[in-house]
Amino acid sequence: MTKEVRASQEELHTLIKEKIAKAGLKEAHAEEVATHLTHADTNGIHSHGAVRVDYYSERIAKGGINTEPSFKFEKTGESTGIFHGDNGMGQVVANEALKEAISLAKHSGIAAVGVRQTSHTGTMGYYVEKAAKEDLIAISLCQSDPMVVPFGGSEPYYGTNPIGFGAPRKDKEPVVFDMATTVQVWGKVLDARSKNVEIPNTWAVDGEGEPTTDPHAVKGLLPVAGPKGYGLMMMVDMMSGILLGLPFGKHVSSMYNDLSKGRELGHLFILIDPSRFTNIDMFKEHVDQSMNELNETKPAAGFDRVLYPGELSLIKRKENQDKGIPVVQDIYDYLKSDTVHFDKYGHSSPFAD
């Protein structure tokens, strides 16, 4: 297994920010991207952390990210709107759109804000946690490039199309659940490549459509729970692509094809103010009770205890805050180096090595 080092949150944030800024992103936007990626790594979501910096830096340097975007929020109803991201950095676009959605939800009780012309936005959990800390229930949906073999098919059509959900608690961190509609996200394959380890044979298939344990041989990811995950990724694609008049399904731009152009991706936030339906304190108390009851459930053989959905990330967060964040040595060396990127992503294959 590839060697890892431990870095503090402050060090990792600084290294990511400096690298992204050196690639050409302005300081305020580099700050937001670094905050997002450090959050992901701190929570143990290494598929969306520092492993992405080389790719982001190459796309920024080659002009595929608008470093001076002109953001515009178009209110289309009392509780609806579209945020135009002008192909800016995905984390920045989504974060600004979320601010509009939060404001709208607090005013109207519910908000549905679509995001047009964005790029890779990172982990959905980051956004729904922010909204939940504003006492809102949050759902985040985002389309991605075609990398997933549909149930019964032999070539990719949909993306990993993630879903994020967040809800406030009374005196604890919000409940945050973040999942791809695939058995595993592409970033986990990248993480396995960086660590030079095999992947489970349930994650993906090779060029012949056969299960593979070699992360370098992956030519298609698999939907979670077969037809059920397949249906969920269809739903996400409709709500974050077709609904917003954007490319959909196999027409969504590849992450790695022509890094000089914007990706025109779509994203959707749905926020609900629980106080419009019930007493907010009672709502949070009942969320607490539900999560506590899950923890108190008798564990099955082989398990120490039952965790509620998303709880493992909070456990990882505490561990990594105390011990430092694990970073693959090669990635750490890259972040500390003068190299902006390795010029390895500009090709048509969505499964870049």
Residue at 304 is within a domain? no
Dig out the tokens for 150 from the structure.
């549909």
The predicted pLDDT at position 353 comes to 58
The predicted pLDDT at position 166 comes to 98
The more confident residue out of 93 and 189 is 93
Residue at 104 is within a domain? yes
Mean pLDDT in residue range 283-308: 98
Q: Is the pLDDT of residue 90 over 90?
A: yes
Residue at 329 is within a domain? yes
Residue at 344 is within a domain? no
The predicted pLDDT at position 350 comes to 78
* Confidence band of 1 (pLDDT split at 50, 70, 90): low
Question: Quick one: which of 174, 138, 171 has its CA closest to 274?
Answer: 138
**36, 91 in Cβ contact below 8 A?**
yes
Residue at 68 is within a domain? yes
Burial class (CB in 10 A: 0-12, 13-18, 19+), 262: buried
The predicted pLDDT at position 333 comes to 97
User: What are the pLDDT digits (tens) for 32-81?
Assistant: 999 999 999 999 999 999 999 999 999 999 999 999 999 999 999 999 99
Residue at 348 is within a domain? no
Q: Is the pLDDT of residue 200 over 80?
A: yes
Residue at 67 is within a domain? yes
Share of the chain above pLDDT 90, in %: 89
Mean pLDDT in residue range 152-169: 94
Q: Sign of dihedral through CA atoms 217, 210, 348, 191? A: negative
Residue at 345 is within a domain? no
Chain centroid to CA 60: 19
Question: Quick one: which of 50, 67, 55, 116 has its CA closest to 254?
Answer: 55
The predicted pLDDT at position 277 comes to 98
Question: Quick one: which of 172, 178, 48, 43 has its CA closest to 120?
Answer: 48
CATH number, domain containing residue 195: 3.30.1370.60
H or E element in which residue 176 lies? strand 175-179
Question: Quick one: which of 235, 202, 201, 205 has its CA closest to 220?
Answer: 205
Burial class (CB in 10 A: 0-12, 13-18, 19+), 349: exposed
The predicted pLDDT at position 39 comes to 98
pTM value is: 0.94
Lowest mean pLDDT among 148-152, 285-289, 320-324: 148-152
Q: Are strands 265-272 and 110-118 parallel, antiparallel or unpaired?
A: antiparallel
Number of domains in the chain: 1
Quote the domain boundaries for residue 137.
4-289+309-336
Lowest mean pLDDT among 131-145, 197-211, 226-240: 197-211
User: What are the pLDDT digits (tens) for 205-238?
Assistant: 998 888 999 999 999 999 999 999 999 999 999 9
Share of the chain above pLDDT 70, in %: 99
**244, 114 in Cβ contact below 8 A?**
yes
**323, 44 in Cβ contact below 8 A?**
no
Active site residues: 120
